[in-house]
């Protein structure tokens, strides 16, 4: 039943009126009272890959809408950004803003995915940069090899005492020019006011980590 709903939603997403964002991405939307879902519809030259990507995104949309339908959240909004695209890959940031009734502020979560446009598969982080563990990341930040950036793309100072790196996030974004942002949820590496904080890998830092972990 769950997969049937996702498949039905995937078909819906590909037939809704959409506004152009780029040559291969359009914006779909679902709107009701206190529900405003905007999501990407990805078009590729490979129909099988296109279907696979959009069904994966449909699962995310379904999960976002489920909290609204069940009354878990008073209101739900989703947004997205294409952070990089070329003939082979597309990098997407999917943002969910859910507001529980009576909460001090909304709940925000980020899903950052890089797809292979020729196969429709998600590309794992290790295809670009190899990271052994969280300690290695923290050492990279403390040694100033890896800067931190907040949601407004402003560099922030690292507070290792209050916000230690406890895991290697698998949410990452391509930023162009060989740069990769490793994305952490609010409260993981800093206060809620900073939003999602990213550990930024320059091409030189990527080379350094890959040499260490070869």
Lowest mean pLDDT among 30-39, 87-96, 97-106, 135-144: 97-106
Residue spans per domain, the chain: 25-123, 126-213
Contact 79, 68 (CB under 8 A): no
Residue 58 above 80 pLDDT? yes
Tens digit of each residue's pLDDT (9 = 90 or more) over 132-143: 999 999 999 999
pTM summary value: 0.87
Q: What is the pLDDT of residues 7-40, one digit of tens each?
A: 445 444 444 434 334 448 999 999 999 999 999 9
At 208 the three-state DSSP class reads helix
pLDDT, one tens digit per residue, over 111-131 is: 999 999 999 999 999 999 999
Residue 83 · residue 55 · CB < 8 Å: no
Q: Is the pLDDT of residue 86 over 80?
A: yes
Of residues 210 and 5, more confidence is placed in: 210
Q: Which CATH number fits domain 25-123: 3.30.565.40, 3.30.470.10, 1.20.120.530, 3.40.190.180?
A: 3.30.565.40
Assess whether pLDDT exceeds 80 at residue 2: no
- Specify burial of residue 2 (Cβ count, 10 A radius: 0-12, 13-18, 19+): exposed
Structure tokens at 77: 């909004």
List pLDDT tens digits, range 43-54.
Answer: 999 999 999 999
Question: What value does the mean pLDDT of the chain take?
Answer: 89
Instruction: Output the pLDDT for position 101.
Output: 81
Between the CA of residue 19 and those of 13, 26, 38, 122, 182, what are the distances in Å?
Answer: 13, 6, 11, 25, 29
Position 29 scores a pLDDT of 96
- pLDDT mean over 205-211: 98
DSSP per-residue letters across 5-44:
HHHHHHHHHTTS--EE-SSSEEEEEEEETTEEEEEEEE--
Higher pLDDT among residues 192 and 155, named by residue: 155
Pairing outcome for strands 75-85 and 155-156: unpaired
30-44, 95-109, 139-153, range with the lowest pLDDT: 95-109
Query: Of 4-13, 66-75, 185-194, which range is least confident?
Result: 4-13
Residue 67 DSSP one-character state: H
d(CA 191, CA 196): 9
């Amino acid at each position: 039943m769950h997969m049937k709903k996702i498949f039905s939603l995937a078909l819906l997403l590909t037939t809704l009126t959409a506004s152009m964002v780029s040559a291969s991405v359009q914006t779909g939307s679902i709107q009701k009272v206190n529900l405003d879902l905007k999501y990407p519809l990805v078009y590729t030259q490979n129909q099988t890959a296109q279907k696979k990507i959009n069904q994966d995104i449909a699962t995310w949309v379904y999960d976002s809408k489920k909290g609204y339908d069940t009354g878990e959240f008073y209101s739900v909004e989703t947004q997205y950004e294409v952070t990089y695209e070329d003939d082979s890959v597309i990098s997407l940031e999917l943002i969910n803003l859910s507001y529980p009734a009576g909460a001090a502020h909304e709940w925000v979560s980020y899903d950052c995915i890089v797809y292979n446009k020729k196969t429709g598969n998600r590309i794992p982080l290790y295809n670009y940069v190899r990271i052994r563990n969280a300690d290695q990341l923290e050492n990279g930040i403390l040694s100033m090899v890896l800067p931190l950036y907040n949601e407004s793309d402003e560099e922030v100072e690292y507070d290792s005492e209050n916000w230690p790196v406890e895991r290697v996030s698998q949410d990452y974004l391509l930023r162009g020019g060989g740069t990769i942002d490793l994305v952490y949820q609010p409260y993981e590496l800093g206060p809620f006011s900073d939003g999602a904080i990213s550990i930024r890998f320059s091409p030189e830092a990527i080379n350094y980590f890959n040499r260490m972990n070869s």
